[in-house]
């Protein structure tokens, strides 16, 4: 995928990968920031948490923009 996120200085190639992984029966998801979030009991739980994580990141970015940083 070739494109640019709002925070990127220049266009680049971003490869999509499976964000949810299972380790010993527990589920985790990886972020663009390089963190591994979890564990979660089910894949559905992990996918729901991905949506909540994205919302938190977007809210934090909006607050930072409002504060002038």
Could you read off the pLDDT of 26-62 as tens digits, one per residue?
999 999 889 999 999 999 999 999 999 999 999 999 9
Which residues does 16 contact at the CB level (< 8 Å), separation at least 6? 1
Report field, pTM of the whole predicted structure over 0.85: no
Is residue 66 a contact partner of residue 60, using CB atoms and an 8 Å limit? no
Beta bridge partners of 30: 36
Task: Look at the chain and report how many structural domains it folds into.
Answer: 1
Beta bridge partners of 23: 26
Q: Give the range of the structural domain holding residue 7, as residue numbers without chain letter.
A: 2-66
In angstroms, the CA 41 to CA 19 distance is: 16
- Lowest-confidence segment of 5-9, 53-57, 64-68 by average pLDDT: 5-9
């Amino acid at each position: 995928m070739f494109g640019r996120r709002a925070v990127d200085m220049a266009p680049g190639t971003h490869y999509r990968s499976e964000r949810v992984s299972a380790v010993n029966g527990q589920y985790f998801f990886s972020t663009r920031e390089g963190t591994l979030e979890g564990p979660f009991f089910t894949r559905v739980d992990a996918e729901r948490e991905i949506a909540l994580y994205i919302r938190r990141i977007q809210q934090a970015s909006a607050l930072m923009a409002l504060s002038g940083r």
